[in-house]
Structure 1
Amino acid sequence: MAKKKEVTVEERLRALYDLQLIDSRIDEIRNVRGELPLEVRDLEDEVAGLNIRLDKLISNLEVIDNDIVSKKNQIEESKSLIKKYSEQQKNVRNNREFNSLTKEVEFQELEIELAEKHIKEFKVQIEQKKEVIAQTKERIKQRDTHLKHKKGELNDILAETQKEEEALIAKSEDYKTQIEARLVTAYDRIRKNVKNGLAVVAIERGASGGSFFTIPPQIQVEIASRKKIITDEHSGRILVDAELAEEQKVKMEKMFSKL
């Protein structure tokens, strides 16, 4: 059985830097999208909320309309009773019966007054709710137009970048399988802990590309020798020499251009 070739430190460093270049490219694509996906989601939630509010207002309007119909029916019923009691008063046998019927008529007249008062109040409520409904519809129209615009922006960006992003994500996962699990874990941890997502950086003018703290000359020599993996003591980032970084950038740009 052929002996499995041992991966050198330099090969590990190159693979890690390649992975960083791929993930940085993904970060760039997502930065282009920026806050758009969140803006679209917030606008969708706002429009949905406004539509729920509109439905509720229209439903309340229907309830008030039904209340008015009910009060009008009540008025007609009271009028009918007044007519009935008035007819009965013509055939009473004594004052007690007459007075009792008179009280019934007065009660029904009060019921009519109260019902008419409620109808007036309901009509005021209807006008107020119609005004709020009109404002809500206008707000929905405005936010819906804005949402369509933002969705259009997002779809344009997705159309330009989605295919490349998916290919890059697949490449990132593929590269991770080629690197020792412990190094991938360290790399992922560093990426999460730094603002710009740079876990592997090159030495630039004697300083770490990530933190810009000066690297002692002796350490720079060790980094350039590519014999061991060295991290920046200030940021924890993995360091590579500028020459290796440039070589990998050229290689990866060729790969990116084919995606």
Structure 2
Amino acid sequence: MATKTETTVEEKLRALYDLQLIDSRVDEIRNVRGELPLEVEDLEDEVLGLKTRIDKLKSDIETVNFEITAKKNLIEEAKALIKKYSEQQKNVRNSREFNSLTKEVEFQELEIQLAEKNIKEFKAQIEQKKEVISKTKEVLTERDNHLKHKKSELDAILAETEKEESALLKKSEEFESKIEERLIKAYKRIRNNVKNGLAVVPVERGASGGSFFTIPPQVQVEIASRKKIISDEHSGRILVDPVLAEEETEKMQKLFTKLSK
């Protein structure tokens, strides 16, 4: 078996591009899965918020019912006082006492009217809150069903991709072992510095893959010769020729198909 020092530049380039294809496949899997947990988390927060809102409204209704009971008790007390003052009016000694009791009766009658008005308003509040609870429950049912669907979707994706991801990560380590440490460090540094994680890219239409900067023809010839490792001067990405890229992509697609089964 060839050691790392005996590996040709072309073999290093192939191994690097294979490693890139494997790591990109892992990125794809994680991206698909990465969006779903966030979606599930958002839905869980929304469902919790709706449940909290319903509980708060129910608590509000209990408080309002307590207020209604208090107002009904006040009415009964006012009625008792009116009866008491009316009885006292029968035994007054002068008009001043009679007028004083009359004012007390009138005050209690006003208290009753105000309490009845309050009760009416409280009942209207309860009906309004019940309507909001009913509508919120409808939304909750819809969001809860959506959450169950998304959780099921996430579970299915996890079951489907975890095995493939694990196998790909082992392959990634396997391919890393074929490449000298200096190149692996450079590869990982570039991957961490670019948004799409592409550290090794093919030349496409005379430019670095995903870039608009043209690569001089002489440099393209050097890349195609596979005699040395060449980096794009603008992005720092390692460049491979399109023929090598196509060959390795075809080879790795077969591997991915096998691992995904």
Q: For this structure pair, what is the TM-score category when the shorter chain's length is used for normalisation?
A: 0.7 to 0.9
**5 Å matches for 1:163-174?**
163-172=163-172
- Specify the alignment match of 1:118 in structure 2: 118
Name the CA shift for 1:76/1:177 in 2 (closer, same or farther; >3 Å).
farther
Q: Which stretches in structure 1 are left out of the alignment for 5+ residues?
A: none
SS of equivalent residue, structure 1 residue 239? strand
Instruction: Report the alpha carbon displacement of residue 197 of structure 1 after superposing the two structures with TM.
Output: 2.9
TM-score by length of structure 2 reads 0.81
- Specify the alignment match of 2:53 in structure 1: 53
Q: Which stretches in structure 2 are left out of the alignment for 5+ residues?
A: none
Question: Which deviates further from its counterpart, 223-232 or 47-56?
Answer: 223-232
Name the CA shift for 1:231/1:58 in 2 (closer, same or farther; >3 Å).
same
Instruction: Report the alpha carbon displacement of residue 78 of structure 1 after superposing the two structures with TM.
Output: 1.0
Identical aligned pairs, as a percentage? Answer: 74
SS of equivalent residue, structure 1 residue 201? strand
SS of equivalent residue, structure 2 residue 211? coil
Amino acid aligned to 1:97? E
Name the CA shift for 1:5/1:173 in 2 (closer, same or farther; >3 Å).
closer
Amino acid aligned to 1:136? T
**5 Å matches for 1:1-259?**
6=5, 8=7, 10=9, 12-33=12-33, 35-172=35-172, 183-194=183-194, 196-203=196-203, 207-211=207-211, 214-242=214-242, 244-245=244-245, 248-249=248-249, 252-253=252-253, 255-256=255-256, 257-258=258-259
Question: Which deviates further from its counterpart, 62-71 or 178-187?
Answer: 178-187
Contact 1:210 1:235 in 2 (8 A): no
Question: Which deviates further from its counterpart, 219-228 or 144-153?
Answer: 219-228
Question: Which deviates further from its counterpart, 55-64 or 187-196?
Answer: 187-196
Instruction: Report the alpha carbon displacement of residue 222 of structure 1 after superposing the two structures with TM.
Output: 3.0
Name the CA shift for 1:258/1:131 in 2 (closer, same or farther; >3 Å).
closer
Contact 1:190 1:237 in 2 (8 A): yes
Question: Which deviates further from its counterpart, 110-119 or 43-52?
Answer: 43-52
Question: Which deviates further from its counterpart, 42-51 or 25-34?
Answer: 25-34
Instruction: Report the alpha carbon displacement of residue 231 of structure 1 after superposing the two structures with TM.
Output: 0.8
For each residue in 1:25-63, what CA deviation from the matched residue of structure 2 results, as whole angstroms up to 9, or x when unmatched? 112324544743333222222222222211111111111
Instruction: Report the alpha carbon displacement of residue 210 of structure 1 after superposing the two structures with TM.
Output: 3.8
CA distance in 2, matches of 1:185, 1:135: 57
CA distance in 2, matches of 1:61, 1:249: 65
TM-score by length of structure 1 reads 0.81
Question: Which deviates further from its counterpart, 46-55 or 203-212?
Answer: 203-212
